[in-house]
Structure 1
Amino acid sequence: MAKNANEALLHAAKIGCLRGVKTALKAGADIDYAQEGNELTGSRIVRTALFFASEAGHADVVRLLIRKGASLTKRSTDTSAPPLLIAASEGHTKVVDLLVHHGATLDTRDCFQRTPLMMACIFRRADTIRRLIELGARVDLTDANGLTAQGYCELNVVGFGCVPKELMELIQEALRTKLLKCCNPTCGKPGYRSTLKICGQCKLTRYCSRDCQRQHWLAGHKMCCGHDAYSEDMIRRDFRKFQMRKYCVL
């Protein structure tokens, strides 16, 4: 019975059926259940209901799942991407806002060390790029290949057009000013490294005051803090897993 409810939860989240999600949860579904097989390749890619809803842009479902306690840090097993990263890559700006305002780490990374901003740049998601920068996403970070958000904008990605000139200018302006922002999304006060305090636990968020850190913690970052840190060992492990899957599919 529980297994059926879990599978019903995943299906409802995928298609954006709010009523179906509520019914599955009422029937005892595990909100963080993540067991999804790929019949075509025989591989098993693990993703949660929140991941599926974020990928499809179902904001109402995302809001409900967050309210019911869904984890914002559960990653997919193909590229170790959390919900925020997939929402950014798909250009679902409203979902990005929801996740960040409920504590998701703005500069979280996947197994290639790509951030949500980098993914939005790869897929030319103009509105999402703009919003992530407004929220305080760092434009100076590099991925495993040494590429920055600007580097991804400059790449000639097959199937995607050029990034609008104004967005390149926005990224370049952020790089020039070297300003960071308070990671409390209700604040966003700009500042420099010397004036913004780094979170002592996760080392990934920064705040202009103790009050902002407390507000962000209570909004939901408490559940993400420390869980989004991605060590070198984890990067190597997940990259090897990705390579093995790719090899098996080929």
Structure 2
Amino acid sequence: MTENSNTLLLHAAKNGSLEGVKAALEAGADIDYKQTDSDLQSTGTALFSASTAGHVDVVRLLLRQGASVVERMGSFAPLHGAAFEGRTAVVELLVQHGATVDIRDVMQNTPLMYACGNNHVDTVRRLIELGARPDLTDGFVAQRMGLKDRNVVDSDESIKMVQEAAKTRLLRCCNPKCGKPGYRKTLKLCAGCKLTRYCSRDCQIQHWTVGHKKCCGHDVYSDEQAYSFRDWASSLANHIEEHGQESSVQLLQRSAETYINL
């Protein structure tokens, strides 16, 4: 029964069925369950699916019920998925519940750079307001856009927005209730994860209480996870060699957002 409820939870979250999610949880579903649908790919959690699809009400319910904001689909966290798709309301919900705004994937991409790469202007603006660093340009997406060398000349409003924010050299307090701007030397860095910054001790305590305590130290992409990614890539290559490119199309489509677009 539990296995069935887990499957129901994933299906309901993916399709935005609030009642279906409630029913699955009441039936005992594991809120952070991931289903392995082949030797090469596992689904993300219900929160990941709902975040990527932009199902705000489902995301809100899952967060209230304690869903993890750091459980990943491959190297993507829910915040990566929401930013990639331009789900601004979901981005805000995730950050309000403690998601680390500058969480990175296997290619060192932050949610801000995914939103920028896809020209999701509203999402870029809100992420910067929530404390995302516009100067983290060592990831693959930022380098592809030319942001690392600051030599990009582009008409995309989102790129211009990131460039302008970087020029100010101001960062923002990562407490989503604050967002006060300040220079790096005036903001206090979290001693645990070293990924979040605060304008005061009070802001750090408040952010810790609302959810950072669940993420701190658990939202860094580890070497073990990177090895898992390389294993996935190797398995995919073997699958294509054995079964042919045409028979691997569906597998590639399921994996595209997580890996191919990095």
41, 66, 76: which one pairs with 1:44?
A: 41
1:6-155 alignment, distance < 5 Å: 6-38=6-38, 43-77=40-74, 80-145=75-140, 147-148=142-143, 151=146
Q: Which residue of 1 aligns with 2:193?
A: 202
Cα RMSD for the two superposed structures: 2.2
CA contact (8 A) 2:108 2:138 kept: yes
Q: What secondary structure is seen at the aligned counterpart in 1 of 2:7?
A: helix
1:144-183 alignment, distance < 5 Å: 144-145=139-140, 147-148=142-143, 151=146, 164-165=156-157, 167-183=158-174
Q: What secondary structure is seen at the aligned counterpart in 2 of 1:191?
A: strand
Q: Which residue of 2 aligns with 1:158?
A: none
With structure 1 as the length reference, what TM-score do the two structures score? 0.87
Query: Cα 1:66–1:229, aligned 2, differ >3 Å: closer, same or farther?
Result: same
Deviates more, 1:95-104 or 1:173-182: 173-182
Moved over 4 A (4+): none
CA contact (8 A) 1:120 1:128 kept: yes
Letter of the 1:53 counterpart: A
CA contact (8 A) 1:121 1:153 kept: no
Could you list the per-position Cα deviations for residues 100-140 of structure 1 after superposition, in whole angstroms to 9, with x for gaps in the alignment? Answer: 01100000011111100111122221211111112121111
Task: Quote the offset at 1:153 in angstroms.
Answer: 11
Q: What secondary structure is seen at the aligned counterpart in 2 of 1:185?
A: coil
Structure with the larger helix share: 2
Task: Quote the offset at 1:152 in angstroms.
Answer: 6.5
Could you list the per-position Cα deviations for residues 44-68 of structure 1 after superposition, in whole angstroms to 9, with x for gaps in the alignment? Answer: 3231000010011001000000000
Deviates more, 1:203-212 or 1:134-143: 134-143
Query: Cα 1:242–1:152, aligned 2, differ >3 Å: closer, same or farther?
Result: farther
Q: Which residue of 1 aligns with 2:253?
A: none
Task: Quote the offset at 1:25 in angstroms.
Answer: 0.4
Matched, 1:227 2:246: no
Query: Aligned partners of 1:65 and 1:193: how far apart in 2?
Result: 34
Letter of the 2:33 counterpart: Y
With structure 2 as the length reference, what TM-score do the two structures score? 0.83
Query: Aligned partners of 2:191 and 2:148: how far apart in 1?
Result: 32
Task: Quote the offset at 1:146 in angstroms.
Answer: 8.3
Could you list the per-position Cα deviations for residues 5-43 of structure 1 after superposition, in whole angstroms to 9, with x for gaps in the alignment? Answer: 0000000000000000000000000101111415xxx63
Query: Aligned partners of 1:9 and 1:163: how far apart in 2?
Result: 42
Letter of the 1:181 counterpart: R
Runs of at least 5 residues in structure 2 that lack an aligned partner in the other structure: 241-262
Letter of the 2:9 counterpart: L
Runs of at least 5 residues in structure 1 that lack an aligned partner in the other structure: 155-161
Query: Aligned partners of 1:36 and 1:239: how far apart in 2?
Result: 15
Report the identity percentage: 58
Could you list the per-position Cα deviations for residues 195-243 of structure 1 after superposition, in whole angstroms to 9, with x for gaps in the alignment? Answer: 0010000110000001000110111111111111234x24641441342
